Structure 1
């Protein structure tokens, strides 16, 4: 009986020891997960809404768990203060200008605190520092946004469905193009014309390119006209001279016109029987009288010459004519001597 009691006592003792060891292991495991046995500092953040955050929830920084929420309490009428225990080993990476926000572990998981931001220009956080906070979207707001997006997507889908239906029924320009063969043929012809126009444009471009290459070829007239200022000045002077010649020709034509007009007026006067020249040219009687007068003048001239010859033979006038003849001979001799 005593032997069985001892066995039972030993077994019970073994189970008690195993249970105690399991209990200790659980305490250490849970304490390790809750960062109960690591050195930490206290950091504070004040939110307007913690969205169900409670003590024991995790604190994350850059995707790494660095602490837990120690206490959640009201700070004022519409604010909540959250005390967090942060591992001291992570203190050097968190700066005083970092910010904290409420998030969730997954879509519907536990609430967590996310610490983000911070620049190296600021010092690291210390015991009792208060971080800036950013208000995050709550799950209700996210669901409301998703519902609004779904409604918008439904409206877009309905509009697209109506558009496709109108196109299939041939409504609108696109529907006409897709369903009406005549419109399709016109569109094809328009595209062909556009292609031809493109080819013509390319041909013109090549021609312009060849012309430009000729302009750039040294020694050609086109290149000299574009680049040589001397040739340009010569052409300018030639153009000015041609312009002067054109002006002179215009003046000559004007003078010829004036001369022709004067000749016409003179011809009219010659043909006019009231003018003296017209009478001389057109009146036969006047012409006969003029001829008779000229015959009489010729006869008078002959008689006058005979009278002069007779006067030279007269002894009264002979000395005058001899003296005049001597003076004329002397004048001719002096003129001949002066020439020699």
Structure 2
């Protein structure tokens, strides 16, 4: 009976010891997960919307868990203050300008807080510091964006469906091009004309190239004009002579203009005769008087020839003229 009681006590003691060991191991395990037995510092972050964060959620930095969410409480009128418990060893990698953002542990996992390291020109964080918030798209916003994109994709698919139906039915310019044989033939004719035009353009380009080569032929006129200084000097002299001729013609034209201008004036004889009717009438009268005087003079000479006093003189003069005429004819023969 005593042996049985001892065995029972030993068995109970063993179970109690095992139970205590399991309890202590569980406490240390949970404490390790919750960072209960490691030295830590506290940081705070102010969010407008914590998107379902809970106390006990993890804090990550560069893909490594460095702490947990210690406490969540309202701050001010509408903000929420989140208290973070960060391993003291991690503070030497995080600077005061670091930012905090809300993310998810996987696509639909628990909410977590992700910290950035900041820049090296700022000192490291200290216990009680408040971090800035980095605004990122939440999972809900991402899902909303996916929904909008899906709707847009459905609309685009419907548009392509309508477009393909119109093409098959021959609606619109593209549909008519595919369905109407006459339009297709016209399009082929246009393509053929474009090909012909392209060939003509190539031919013209080849001819221009040939013409350019002829211009560059050694010894040709164009080559001499561009390279031979003597030919160029002759061309310059010709141009200078042409300029002088042009100047002379201009001077002559100016003189003619001046002379013609004088014809239109009445301060000279020619202009007076041309432009003054009275002077012209006087000239006509003088010419008429001269003609009348010459007629009267002829009549007077004839009367003198008939007069006996001058008859011998005129006969003698006639004989001398006849003799002179005969001598002239002899010299000619």
TM-score interval, smaller chain: 0.5 to 0.7
Q: Deviations over 1:236-268 (max 9, x none)?
A: 44355468789999x9xxxxxxxxxxxxxxxxx
Whole-Å Cα distance in 2 between the matches of residues 221 and 297 of structure 1?
79
Paired position in structure 2 for 1:63: 63
Residue 300 (structure 1) aligns with: 320
Secondary structure of 1:123's match? coil
Q: Aligned in 2, Cα 1:304/1:86: closer, same or farther, shift over 3 Å?
A: closer
Question: Partner of 1:31 in structure 2?
Answer: 31
Could you say what secondary structure the match of 1:59 adopts? strand
Residues 115/227 of structure 1: CA separation in 2 closer, same or farther (3 Å cut): farther
Give the conservation status (yes or no) of the 8 Å contact 1:101–1:136.
yes
Query: Residue 17 in 1 paired to residue 37 in 2?
Result: no
8 Å Cα contact 1:42-1:86 kept in structure 2 = yes
Query: Per-residue deviation at 1:105?
Result: 1.5
User: What displacement does 1:214 show?
Assistant: 6.0
SS in structure 2 at match of 1:124: coil
Give the direction of change, closer, same or farther, for the CA distance of 1:191–1:11 in structure 2 (3 Å limit).
farther
CA RMSD of aligned residues (A): 3.6
Q: CA deviation at 1:113?
A: 0.8
Normalised to the residue count of structure 1, the TM-score between the two structures is: 0.64
CA contact (8 A) 2:96 2:131 kept: yes
Distance 1:297 1:84, change over 3 A: farther
Q: 2:59–2:115: 8 Å Cα contact kept in structure 1?
A: yes
Secondary structure of 1:89's aligned partner: helix
Where does structure 2 lack aligned partners over 5 or more consecutive residues?
253-290, 292-315, 326-333
**What residue is the counterpart of 1:44 in the other structure?**
44
Which runs of 5 or more structure 1 residues have no equivalent in the other structure? 252-275, 277-295, 306-340
1:213 and 1:18 mapped to 2: Cα distance? 108
Give the direction of change, closer, same or farther, for the CA distance of 1:302–1:188 in structure 2 (3 Å limit): closer
Residue 88 of structure 1 pairs with residue 99 of structure 2: no
Aligned residues: 261
SS at match of 2:36: coil
Deviation at 1:302, TM superposition (A): 5.5
SS of match in other structure, 1:95: coil
Cα shift at 1:73: 1.1
